[in-house]
């Protein structure tokens, strides 16, 4: 499994996930449950017999802490880690920090649903999933994929929307398919890639 290995993990539950707030580029920490999820993700990867050569994460604390906890479980705390805001969560703009129910009261259920679940309609001052893809994908192609194709086992700890952008490309999903795709917190998705960067195999370790 070590040939051209790429593993994606959404961070563990954050304090704002728990409070039902739009988070985006805001930087809350992990909850106790989120810490447990991150540690469990590390144990799941270890149980698969996996180790890594390099890791990537976003510029946000919840993804970085998740990665640190996973690497501790793997016995790889000294692994080289590259952090970049290209892997940050989607920027929710004016929604950031708002309770999702309060946002529905302000803008209406239908409008908030469109912002959350459409591919290319952004909330005020924020990013759509398409916008997130436009920054995450070039970073993946230029900075991450070359490591994978050289046989470097690569771990990415990031966010629901930045990872969905990568999954859209890896799994060749349409905009309609990717907006319906949910990623569980702390659940590794293991890909092996072919030499042409297409997916050879996929294992989803979600419970």
Query: Which pLDDT band holds residue 206 (cuts at 50, 70, 90)?
Result: confident
CB contact set of 86 (below 8 Å; sequence gap of 6+): 58, 135, 136, 138, 139, 143, 162
User: Which whole number is the average pLDDT over 8-12?
Assistant: 97
Asked if pLDDT for residue 124 goes beyond 80, the answer is yes
Average pLDDT, the chain: 95
Active site residue 89: yes
Q: Which residue out of 11, 37, 127, 159 is catalytically annotated?
A: 11
Predicted local confidence at residue 137, as pLDDT: 95
Assessment of whether the complete model's pTM goes beyond 0.85:
yes
Name 100's Cβ contacts closer than 8 Å, sequence gap at least 6: 20, 21, 22, 112
Task: Report which of 132, 206, 188 is spatially closest to residue 5, judged by C-alpha positions.
Answer: 188
Closest by CA to 88, choosing from 65, 118, 57, 116, is 57
pLDDT in tens, 45-60: 999 999 999 999 999 9
Domains in the chain, ordered, with CATH? 5-204 (3.40.50.1240)
Residues 182-207 as b or e (16 or more Cβ within 10 Å = b): ebebbbbbbbbbeeebebeeeeebee
Q: From the candidates 32, 73, 89, 176, which is the catalytic residue?
A: 89
Q: Give mean pLDDT, residues 4-23.
A: 95
Phi/psi at 201 (5° precision): -155, 160
Q: Is 113 a catalytic residue?
A: no
| pLDDT tens sequence across 148-194 | 999 999 999 999 999 999 999 999 999 999 988 889 999 999 999 99
DSSP strands (E only) in 58-137: 81-83
Q: Which of 7-11, 40-44, 113-117, 157-161 is predicted least confidently? A: 113-117
pLDDT at residue 90 above 70? yes
Q: To 10 degrees, what angle do helices 129-139 and 160-170 make?
A: 70
Residue 44 contacts residue 36 (beta carbons within 8 Å): no
The answer on pLDDT for 1 being more than 60 is no
CA separation for the pair 10, 185 (Å, rounded): 5
| Region of residue 143 (phi > 0: left; psi between -120 and 50: alpha; otherwise: beta) | alpha
Give the Cα separation of 33 and 15 in Å (integer).
9
């Amino acid at each position: 499994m070590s040939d051209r290995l790429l593993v994606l993990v959404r961070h563990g539950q954050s304090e704002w996930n728990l409070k039902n707030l739009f988070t985006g580029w805001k930087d809350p920490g992990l909850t106790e449950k989120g810490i447990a999820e991150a540690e469990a993700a590390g144990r799941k990867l270890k149980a698969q017999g996996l180790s890594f050569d390099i890791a990537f994460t976003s510029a946000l604390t919840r993804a970085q802490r998740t990665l640190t906890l996973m690497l501790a479980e793997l016995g790889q705390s000294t692994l080289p880690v590259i952090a970049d805001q290209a892997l940050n969560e989607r920027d929710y703009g004016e929604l950031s920090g708002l309770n999702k129910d309060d946002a529905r009261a302000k803008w209406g259920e239908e409008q908030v649903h469109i912002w959350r679940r459409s591919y290319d309609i952004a909330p005020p001052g924020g990013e759509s999933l398409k916008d997130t893809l436009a920054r995450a994908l070039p970073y993946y192609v230029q900075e991450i994929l070359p490591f994978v194709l050289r046989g470097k086992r690569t771990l990415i700890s990031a966010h629901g929307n930045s990872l969905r952008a990568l999954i859209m490309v890896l799994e060749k999903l349409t905009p309609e398919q990717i907006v319906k795709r949910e990623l569980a917190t702390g659940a590794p998705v293991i890909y092996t890639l072919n030499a042409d960067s297409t997916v050879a195999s996929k294992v989803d370790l979600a419970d």
